[in-house]
Amino acid sequence: MGFIAFLKTQFIVHLLIGFVFVVSGLIINFIQLCTLVLWPINKQFYRRVNCRLAYSLWSQLVMLLEWWSGTECTLFSDQATVNTFGKEHVIIILNHNFEIDFLCGWTMTERFGVLGSSKVLAKRELLYVPLIGWTWYFLEIVFCKRKWEEDRDTVIEGLKRLSDYPEYMWFLLYCEGTRFTETKHRISMEVAESKGLPKLKYHLLPRTKGFTTAVQCLRGTVSAVYDVTLNFRGNKNPSLLGILYGKKYEADMCVRRFPLEDIPQDEKEAANWLHKLYQEKDALQEMYNQEGIFPGQQFKPPRRPWTLLNFLFWATVLLSPLFTFGFGVFASGSPLLILAFLGFVGAASFGVRRLIGVTEIEKGSSYGNQEFKKKE
């Protein structure tokens, strides 16, 4: 094992990376709070500023994927589709099978210049997660409780507010509503059978309300829907902890572009279109599992240096005073100060681990198990 590889496995290094992310995130959140005064003066300027502030935070996670772990992402698509990347407002449909599926999506948005302005329809619980939810709040992310009767007005209002967004945005939808697990899949297929819908092997039954509402509200703003089907070579199931330990993965993403005018305006027909799309996604996953490759031309967009430079900037600004302070604490010889400093380190470690836990499948929500609970 080389020295760099050894460093990537050390807890203290992980703690320092987490310290930089958390403290820079709190600084960014404070700056975002201050920018609220810009909203009534110049809303579009407020949005552009917050896109760049969000980029400064999210790109640190992308840096871990691209530069720290060296994970490679290959696109399977066609040249005409790739030529549109970063040049239009779009809705992204991504399968929700992996702990780092969002991070693979982010690395593509970064390489095509739309990371800061990327959007998502997120569960409301994330609004209260420090750094993640707070940053999303200032980015006008649409939050939902995943109960359509309560969400309808909030979601429609949030989507319509994005109709004049000044920078190209990729709006991410996890139409399955939750991450894939065997239990959720079994329940989902029972629902599919009861509704007379074809069963899926690799996906949960898509929930259509969010998709049809997004298409309806963003029609005239969004140009297309990008269907993205993600898988990893070698049947790997990567995690954020694995990325932190420097494990390299190879992600393959099949991207298909559907002009918005090809999607029916009628809600029921649009829902049927989505169900058909997921049947096609299932076929793509079957092909990948059998042949180890998606159809289409292969593209490997080069990683850009900005994520690494951004992290190095924050690390320089934040770690220099931390090392100076830590050295002073131990040099003082005061047991009270040393214990307080070690307590701070322990609290920081706990906080970083909790943030990582948000991505773990086994700690995911019980959403998707509701029918099972009713049966019990």
SS3 sequence, 242-282?
Answer: HHHCCCCCEEEEEEEEEEHHHCCCCHHHHHHHHHHHHHHHH
Could you state, in order of their start, the residue ranges of all structural domains in the chain? 8-306, 318-352
Rounded Cα distance, 112 and 110, in Å: 5
AA letter at 36: L
Arithmetic mean of pLDDT over the chain: 89
Quick: pLDDT tens for 172-189: 999 998 889 899 999 999
Q: In this predicted structure, which of 20-29, 32-41, 124-133 has the lowest mean pLDDT?
A: 124-133
Write out pLDDT tens, residues 290-316.
999 999 999 999 999 999 999 999 999
Alpha-helix residue ranges (DSSP H) falling in the chain = 3-8, 11-34, 43-63, 79-82, 101-111, 132-138, 148-161, 182-194, 208-218, 240-244, 267-291, 306-332, 335-357, 370-375
d(CA 155, CA 144): 7
Give the pLDDT of residue 374: 46
Residue 125, Cβ density class (10 Å: 0-12 exposed, 13-18 middle, ≥19 buried): middle
Residue-level pLDDT at 373? 42
Report whether pLDDT(96) > 60: yes
Between 109-118, 146-155, 187-196, 224-233, the lowest mean confidence (pLDDT) is in: 146-155
Q: Which of 152-166, 167-181, 231-245, 357-371 comes out lowest in average pLDDT?
A: 357-371
Q: What is the CATH number of domain 8-306?
A: 3.40.1130
Identify which has the larger pLDDT, 102 or 355. Answer: 102
Q: How many CB atoms lie within 10 A of CB 163?
A: 13
| Helix, strand, or coil (residue 78) | coil
354 vs 220: CA distance, rounded Å: 40
List CB contacts of 148: < 8 A, sequence separation 6 or more: 209
Q: Which residues pair with 259 in a beta bridge?
A: 224
More confidently predicted of 173 and 130? 173
Ranking 33-47, 184-198, 334-348 by mean pLDDT, the lowest is 334-348
Whether the predicted pLDDT of 25 surpasses 90: yes
How much is the pLDDT for 83? 97
pLDDT at 350 over 80: no
- Assess whether pLDDT exceeds 90 at residue 271: yes
